[in-house]
Amino acid sequence: MLTLRMYASPWRLLTTLLLLFASVPPVWADAPAVQLNQGALTLDKGQLSVLEDPLGTLDWQQALAAQRAGRFKPIPFALGQGYSTSAFWLHVRLERLPGSAEKWAFSSSPAYLDKVEYFLLQDGQLFDRLRAGDLVDDPEHDLHHRIAVVGTRLPEGGMEMLVRLETTSTSVLLIQILPWSRHEALIEGRVLGEGILIGILVVILVINLLNGIWLRRPIFFYFVAYEASMLATVLLSNGFVRDLFPHIDAYQQNLIMQLGVLCSGFLAFVFFWRLLDFPFRGKRWVNGLFIVGIMHSMVGIIFAFYGRYPEAMAFINTYVSVFPILVSVPLLLSWKRMDSEQRFRAGGLFVFGVFVVVNGLYTIGLMPVTVGTVYIAPIMILSFQLSLHFILVFSVRKSESTVRDAQRRAELSSREVALERKQRLSHEMFMAMFSHEVRTPLAVIDNSTQSLDMLEQMPDSSHERVKRYTRIRDSVQRIDQLLQMSLLRGRADLTGADVEVQEYDLGERLQAVIETFDARARQRIRWHEADELRVGLRLPASILEVLMRNLIDNALKYSPDEQPVDVSLGVDPEGWYFTVRDYGAGMNEYVRSRIFERHFRAAERESVPGLGLGLFVVKEVLDKCGGHIDVHSGNEGTRMAIRMPCAPHA
């Protein structure tokens, strides 16, 4: 009665049934067999079940028993368990259909796997065992000494296959089964793909090495070091190093490959640290992240020497997967403040980060392992190497362009400073010469004034007084001339399109200029007055007279006192012209080349007073108003002619 009452409770009855069901071992159920006909098959669509062997001690009989006991777990794709120290067993049922090929090949991917063992069973009995990978040798079944492709004969009908994976790298395994007739095409395709990858990496390395030497930019050498470590890793993972150095055994190659992976990570951190070596918000935080990454790589190298590479890589790969995100945040916050070169460099990290995150998710087992994703590693290597190469080149080219622009601006600034310095020195020289020139007429005025005071008390001194007055007048005119030259020298707007047109009678203006000279000079000036010459000029009258006076004064000073100076004036369709000709000794080539320089004075007559500004001012005015001056000099004297266009009459 007690028993009946207990089971009468529906909840207790359900609980008892669940306990009884849980205590019964699960019954092994056959999974659908993979049929082998004439085409290739990839075991990435739920055909496999997996068992983890943490100690790596199970043999095939124990693994088969575990499968019969239901301990294998079905997986939807190929094996992807990330970095693990465990061995893994896979199980799949196969069926070779009648009329299909007898010989079949088994391909294991990726290329860097250490040990992959295939156990083929029929009716629970082992009829063949195949081995592939870096750390095993199976001459009987091996179809290529580097690529993990093995082959054997398969009986007709149903069979089972147990696959054991043991590797010190990431536990990823993709199995392809293909007829014997297609294995050569598979091998050739893989060899070609490896060759293309290695060739492109070598080309990128050489180009950046040459760029570093040619441009002398350290960033290229950082990239070359990173590129070289990546290339070495690829060569080691594909077995090329053992072909080049046969004395290296499989275990040494495996260790060197692990060190290569860690060194490439170390150099990648260093390279990107240097690539982002510019000021931005959160730079200290980013620097700290780089230091942590570098330390991770160094610790990983130590772990590899002690045989704990998977443990180190499991942690490093997780850090590397989140690292680009952590660094990108402060870079994005500072994006608007960056110049174009800095944005190129930050963009390089963003591109690299996308590839690293995808590759990290794949290697740690968070991304499905299929026939497409198994090629993520080589594609990622090739893609981000090419991306970094072009981003680095564009960044440096932009930097070079910026530097060239800065150099041009610096050169312009330097020229402006030099010009300003030259003008300051010229001004100082002018002031010194001006002071010296003015001192002489002032001294004459002072002496003449004192003499006049004394002559006032002397009888019959009228002649001497006239002499003194004449000297005073000449000195005042000299001072006035010097002041006009100095004021005209400092004017920046001698003429221009906005100057009002003024009409002049050129003959009247010239006559006024001649009247400013003393009697002796006027006697030397020969000018035949012509009819009225009225023209319109965008030139103040004072400046026009300065031009005329400077040329006449220069001819009077630099020709013998007994020789005349011829002056001519006229108008033609090209404008008005003014010519002055002396009959002196002429000028040598050196003087002719420098007569229009500021403060230059001809060496032939160093005793002649003056500032060396007369012809300089004439040339400057003519340049600004569209005129020009011609000089012809020889043994019979010098002829200077100025020509200037006339402006329309107002």
Residue 267 CA neighbour count, 13 Å, CB half: 21
Closest CA to 163 of 69, 79, 248, 261: 79
Q: Each residue of 511-526: pLDDT tens digit?
A: 888 887 777 888 888 8
- The CATH classification number of 30-184 equals 2.60.40.2380
Closest CA to 434 of 491, 472, 485: 485
Q: What is the mean pLDDT of residues 288-306?
A: 92
Q: Each residue of 6-52: pLDDT tens digit?
A: 333 443 433 333 333 333 333 334 568 899 988 889 999 889 999 99
Closest CA to 136 of 162, 161, 117, 153: 117
Does the model's pTM come out above 0.85? no
pLDDT of residue 600: 60
Q: Each residue of 551-584: pLDDT tens digit?
A: 888 888 878 888 888 998 888 878 888 899 988 8
Q: How confident is the model at residue 292 (pLDDT cuts 50, 70, 90)?
A: very high
Say if CB 109 and CB 238 are below 8 A apart: no
Q: Each residue of 191-231: pLDDT tens digit?
A: 888 888 888 888 888 888 887 888 777 888 888 888 888 88
Alpha helix segments (H runs only) across 152-282? 183-215, 218-237, 240-244, 250-275
Q: Report the SS3 class of residue 544.
A: helix
Name which residue leads in pLDDT, 231 or 606. 231
Q: Each residue of 232-255: pLDDT tens digit?
A: 888 888 777 777 787 887 788 888
Name which residue leads in pLDDT, 534 or 80. 80
Q: What is the mean pLDDT of residues 382-387?
A: 71
Strongest mean pLDDT among 159-173, 188-202, 370-384: 159-173
Name which residue leads in pLDDT, 192 or 442. 192
Domain 496-644 grouped into CATH 3.30.565.10: yes
pLDDT of residue 397: 67
Q: Report the SS3 class of residue 41.
A: strand
Q: What is the mean pLDDT of residues 466-479?
A: 68
Q: Report the SS3 class of residue 567.
A: strand
Q: What is the mean pLDDT of the chain?
A: 79
Percent of the chain at pLDDT > 70 equals 78
pLDDT of residue 15: 37
Q: In what order do the strands lie in the sheet with 525-527?
A: 525-527, 565-572, 575-582, 637-644, 628-634
Q: How far apart (Å, rounded) are the C-alpha atoms in residues 607 and 436?
A: 13
Q: Where exactly are the structural domains of the chain?
A: 30-184, 198-410, 496-644
Say if CB 552 and CB 518 are below 8 A apart: no
